[in-house]
Chain A
């Protein structure tokens, strides 16, 4: 084969004489196995660009045009999957196309292996072709995959295309199933060729893979799906199907979590099976240190942060001379070299510290309360980061909750701000809960009336569980004449008609000692993060006796008897973590800003608790 770089497409002249190129010809070196295909019957050749989104076709040969009926100009720039659609107007692939083969193709493409197998394709007119496909990755001189070469030989497919006639499993005679029995995470897949000889007495075999996956398996929990892998070959292969894991994630953790994880998965080319596993077991949780550029100046403490997509947004704080500031800074963690950028906003809210900053849906965020220049505040401002000129806009309401600082807040459904507790001007602690629905034209603060309230407190956390439950934990709570650190957990279900706070665990007396050894010591100003599935992770904060709190704790409120457990996390933990300077980015990384009050004023050394392994196909 022709191996010199920058030459024309290196194929044997007798298979193709017609070149359609969308871009510059890549330089590459073809390996030996590909020769076998070239020597056999005329074959179709497809080249796709591996570095562009969705792998667009950049070259097809004349045989491809002749066999499939698609002209080159019709297919250049598209992904090859259109070959699985019956007829040029179909929007989804034909049900008999084997999902496992597709999954295996995706896997080989991501990991840079050659793929060889058979696949059902359709001509432009709709008639079927059984496609023997060989895909090889092509690397540039640095070993980075730049293109994929697909060589396809075909034979006519002789089977009935009418839906569900008899056994759906019947394929064209002579087809060999390529079962891949290999650890998804290891580097060496094991190819095992078997004939299909399925027992006809089992009615399950009548159901196609797609129906089985979408309708039945997708309703199971991750553990159930995984344990099905031990049943038989078919089930094992189905549990390797990425589309199954996506559906499982959507079903158990909801569409919002799924969308957040999807952008992370796509960007870092992560496997869904692995994501779901790691978020279930948290086995890959690790502390990492992150150095970023830029700086937050003038430096301040007691600011608040929240996550908006992949960005960390910082607002307010207490600057020099203990004066409140009102700057807005953004740090985009998706950039190669993230750095703090000051945003020039229109009409910034009055400066404040001890406020809450929370992320809404669609790149917006809301700030509430805090201590300003002239006392405590109870105003709310919303900022839309996607605007060309971001502008803070006050939410004008006739009646507002009492002005407060060191309260806690959370966002329900991406649109409703919930605020609870805090400290008033007079120094009294609050125990109320208010809801502000920001979808309304004229939002109105509504107090959530309950028959019984937990003791008033500040420095506690509110976490959202699913769509309609909130969990309150810790804080400095009133206990008679005293104020003591609390370890109590309360949950409220906002979908109930009579909303009430339910005590979950802790000690009924704030500051008391719990009998369970793995329970976290009482604390305030800690970080609390909601994980998919309704679990809560807690760490940091201030605990009694000025000991440094180092452990990470996890609680599953859905258990029958919810119990705190210690989560063992690899890596070095930051010495100090505070609730309002911690946020969960992209559903997978908990970013902790700033060290102790007296350290790291510049905020360039961050810690992050990575919940899953973000290294992609390592």
Chain B
């Protein structure tokens, strides 16, 4: 079966990305196309030049490329279940700082699937956690005074009640 000539060319084409410390990443065209931002940029300028990505560090870029490269290959060949398992492995050893840097990088480069994956992971870490636990997880300093905390807690009391069924029980009177 003859291969589509553009696909063949795409496999050979390398896209050059220049990142924050001026090192150059060379990635395959198909991998670069996972990023909407690169897709748009390259459709204007072609693949000859170098795309500057000054705000992304090399370790973050490495992670992004790793993810995109896997997903390009996995698109038609690997089962959804296995892809999910790979995704979880990918996330496993990432620390907080890397996670958030990845969020910002995927936001800038517009890589929806990776962004969704990471944001869902972060959301899952926050689910059902108390405020103190959330602070611990993300190393956030509590800048609320005790009075403010008390006021906020009182205001948001409904979120802490069991199941939220109103505690005040009004009498229901028959009409007439």
| A residues lining the B interface (CB < 8 Å) | 162-166, 168, 181, 183-184, 199, 201-204, 206-207, 211, 215-217, 219-224, 226-233, 235-236, 277, 280-283, 548, 550-552, 565, 567-570, 572-575
Q: Bound state CA distance, A552 and B166, in angstroms?
A: 13
| Smallest beta-carbon distance B86→chain A, Å | 22
Contact check, B139 vs A569: say whether CB atoms are below 8 A apart.
no
10 A-B pairs in the complex with CB atoms less than 8 angstroms apart? A166-B55, A203-B100, A211-B107, A216-B126, A223-B159, A226-B158, A235-B140, A568-B170, A569-B170, A573-B174
B148 to A, closest residue via Cβ: A181
A215's contact among B115, B127, B165, by CB below 8 Å, is which?
B115
When C-beta atoms are compared, the residue in chain A nearest to B156 turns out to be A226
Tell whether, in the assembled complex, residue A216 and residue B122 are in contact, meaning their CB atoms are under 8 Å apart. Answer: yes
9 new A-B contacts at CB < 8 Å, known A183-B151, A227-B131: A204-B100, A219-B119, A219-B123, A224-B128, A227-B130, A229-B155, A231-B142, A281-B164, A281-B165
Cα distance A221–B126 when bound, in Å?
11
Tell me how many residue pairs across A and B have CB atoms closer than 8 Å. 147
Number of interface residues of B (CB under 8 A): 54
Whether the pair B149, A230 counts as a contact (CB closer than 8 A) is yes
Q: In the docked arrangement, what's the CA distance between A163 and B110, Å?
A: 12
Q: B175 and A573: CB pair below 8 A?
A: yes
B104 touches A206 (CB 8 A): yes
- Distance A550 CA – B173 CA, assembled complex (angstroms): 8
What 6 pairs across the A-B complex have the smallest Cβ distances? Answer: A230-B131, A226-B159, A219-B123, A215-B119, A281-B164, A203-B100
B143 at the interface (CB under 8 A from A): yes
Known: A283-B158, A568-B172, A574-B175. A232 touches B104 (CB 8 A): no
B residues bordering A, Cβ < 8 Å?
Answer: 54-55, 96-97, 99-101, 103-104, 107-108, 115-116, 119-120, 122-123, 126-131, 134-135, 138-144, 148-149, 151-153, 155-156, 158-161, 164-166, 168-170, 172-176
CA distance A235 to B143 in the complex (A): 11
Given contacts A231-B131, A282-B166, contact A202 B139 (CB under 8 A): yes
- Tell me, in angstroms, the Cα distance from A216 to B100 when the chains sit together: 11
Residue among B97, B108, B151, B158 with most chain A CB within 10 A: B158
Q: How far is the CA of A223 from the CA of B156 in the complex (A)?
A: 9
Do the beta carbons of B107 and A575 come within 8 Å of each other? Answer: no
Q: CA–CA, A574 to B135, complex, Å? A: 49
A570 to B138, CA, bound (A): 42
Partner of A207, one of B104, B134, B159, B166: B104
Known A204-B138, A280-B164, A283-B166: A230·B153 in contact at CB below 8 Å: yes
Q: How far is the CB of A521 from chain B (nearest CB, A)?
A: 15
| Chain B neighbourhood of A574, CB < 8 A | 175
Question: Which listed residue, A164, A231, A277, A548, touches B108 by the CB 8 Å rule?
Answer: A164
CA distance A224 to B129 in the complex (A): 8
Q: How far is the CB of A220 from chain B (nearest CB, A)?
A: 6
| A556 nearest CB neighbor, chain B only | B163
B107 to chain A: closest residue by CB: A211
B172 touches A573 (CB 8 A): yes
Please give, as numbers and ranges, the residues of chain A lying within 8 Å of B100 by CB-CB distance. Answer: 203-204, 206-207
Is A211 touching B104 in the complex (CB atoms < 8 A)? yes
Determine how close the nearest CB of chain B comes to the CB of A534; give it in whole angstroms.
Answer: 14
| Contact among A206, A231, A281 for B140, CB-based, below 8 A | A231
Please give, as numbers and ranges, the residues of chain B lying within 8 Å of A168 by CB-CB distance.
Answer: 104
* Contact present for A230 and B152 (CB under 8 Å): yes
Residue of B nearest to A227 (CB): B159
**CB-defined contacts of B54 to chain A, threshold 8 Å:** 162, 165
Instruction: Assess the A572–B141 pair: CB atoms within 8 A.
Output: no
Residues of A contacting B176 in the complex (Cβ-Cβ under 8 angstroms)? 575
A101 CA to B108 CA in the complex, in Å? 24
Using Cβ atoms and an 8 Å threshold, which residues of chain B touch A220? 123, 126-127
Q: Find out whether the CB atom of B152 lies under 8 angstroms from the CB atom of A206.
A: no
**Chain A residues positioned under 8 Å from B170 (CB to CB):** 568-570
Inter-chain contact A229/B107, CB cutoff 8 Å:
no
Q: Are A228 and B155 in contact (CB under 8 A)?
A: no
Contact among B108, B123, B130 for A216, CB-based, below 8 A: B123
Q: Which residues of A contact B148 (CB under 8 A)?
A: 181
Q: How far is the CB of B137 from chain A (nearest CB, A)?
A: 9
CB-CB under 8 A from A232, the residues of chain B are 135, 140-144
Instruction: Report B-chain residues with C-beta under 8 Å of the C-beta of A183.
Output: 151, 155
Tell me which residues across on chain A come within 8 A of B143, comparing CB atoms.
232-233
Known: A163-B108, A165-B55, A568-B170. A202 touches B138 (CB 8 A): yes
B168: contacting residue among A206, A215, A551, A568, CB under 8 A = A568
Chain A residues, Cβ within 8 Å of B130:
227
- Tell me whether A228 and B134 are in contact (CB under 8 A): yes
Max count, chain A CB within 10 A of own CB: residue among B108, B119, B148, B149: B119
Given A206-B100, A226-B156, A574-B175, A199 and B55 contact (CB-CB distance below 8 Å): no
Write the nearest CB–CB distance from A541 to chain B, whole angstroms.
16
Kindly report which residue of chain B lies nearest to residue A201, judged by CB atoms: B139
Given A203-B99, A207-B100, CB of A230 within 8 Å of CB of B144 = yes
Pair A215/B140 contact, Cβ less than 8 Å: no
- Chain A residues lying within 8 Å of B99, measured Cβ to Cβ, are 203
Report the minimum CB–CB distance from B164 to chain A (whole Å): 4
A211 to B151, CA, bound (A): 28
Cα distance, A277 to B158, chains bound together (Å): 8
The residue on B at minimum CB distance from A220 is B123
Distance in Å: Cβ of B118 to nearest Cβ of chain A: 9
Alpha-carbon gap, A164 to B135, bound state (A): 24
B164 & A224 in contact (Cβ 8 Å cutoff): no
Q: A233-B144, A283-B166, A569-B170 are in contact. Are A207 and B135 (CB under 8 A)?
A: no
Nearest A-chain residue to B176, judged by Cβ: A575
Task: Tell me if B101 and A206 are in contact (CB < 8 A).
Answer: yes
Q: How far is the CA of A550 from the CA of B116 in the complex (A)?
A: 47
Question: Which of A201, A203, A277, A283 has most chain B Cβ within 10 Å?
Answer: A203
Q: Which residues of A contact B153 (CB under 8 A)?
A: 230
Q: Report B-chain residues with C-beta under 8 Å of the C-beta of A236.
A: 144, 152
Which A residues are CB-close (under 8 A) to B115?
215
A residues in contact with B149, CB < 8 Å: 230
**A552 neighbours in B (Cβ, 8 Å):** 172
Contacts of B156 in A (CB 8 A): 226-227, 229-230
